[in-house]
Chain A
């Protein structure tokens, strides 16, 4: 078991930050932790779950997002005031604006774990 964890950690070193999150989120699906500016929480909707597509082309993923939220999943909060989260499901990651207290999620984007967003930092202009 320890060897497996070490292998994962070693492999993860060579990944981009977004790829690392895709891997690590699935290893610890039940947690609540803070890592620097990242806040990780477990979310689970028990009652009347409302999910809507806020971006075109995402309607096809609403049902799987609803199921995931009702089963429970790990989420990384991006911005508290905007309520933006990445929610890590077994087959797809969902970028949402969400109000957990009202069991509401607006789906903005989604992707498969092997194709997370490419992150580009533009250098400051002189």
Chain B
């Protein structure tokens, strides 16, 4: 169990207040977010319905890519203040780096480490490349998760 940091609570509530929601439900969520068990609450499926899938289309080096950011990753992005442009930029740099180093991107899981911008915090993108083809002109489809956000150095654990 662990409490969230104030800025994490503020970001999550700020996001949720912009969405149409029952005020009573919002108050319940706020209570949970401020509780000692907030980190566990963030993993519960019922919270994820408020964080829909985000889709981002990119063209990198002539190829189309479609990033699908699942609700869990969307929630983590809001919590840690990671913007969609940051995820998109890091993924674009990953593709450009692979092209420059003649590494072929194939279907399967990837873990991408990098700084989206100079001197910014390191971010770990974990992605599943679901579909890759250059034959039909269809987009390469990538499911995106967020690994380490760089905002948390704590590694103590109690199970």
B-binding residues in A (CB < 8 A): 18, 34, 37, 39, 41, 43, 52, 54-57, 77-84, 95, 97-102, 104, 106, 108-109, 111, 115-126
Inter-chain CA distance A109–B159, complex, in Å, is: 22
- A121 CA to B44 CA in the complex, in Å? 31
Q: How large is the interface on B (under 10, 10 to 19, 20 to 34, 35 or more residues)?
A: 35 or more
A-B contact count (CB 8 A): 124
Does B39 lie within 8 Å of A55, measured CB to CB?
no
CA distance A107 to B136 in the complex (A): 31
B136-152 to A contact mask, C-beta < 8 Å, 1/0: 00000001011111001
Closest to A57 in B: B130
- Majority DSSP secondary structure for residues of B touching A: mixed
Chain B residue with the shortest CB-CB distance to A96: B43
List the A side residues contacting B114 at CB < 8 Å: 121-124
A-side contacts of B113, CB under 8 Å: 119-122
A57 partner residues in chain B, CB cutoff 8 A: 128, 130, 143
Instruction: A101 to B43: give the CA distance in the assembly, Å.
Output: 12
Question: Judging by beta carbons under 8 Å apart, are A41 and B152 in contact?
Answer: no
CB-CB < 8 A to B118: which residues of A?
124-126
The residue from B40, B68, B126, B155 contacting A95, defined by CB atoms under 8 A apart: B126
Q: Is there contact, CB below 8 Å, between B90 and A109?
A: no
B72 touches A118 (CB 8 A): no
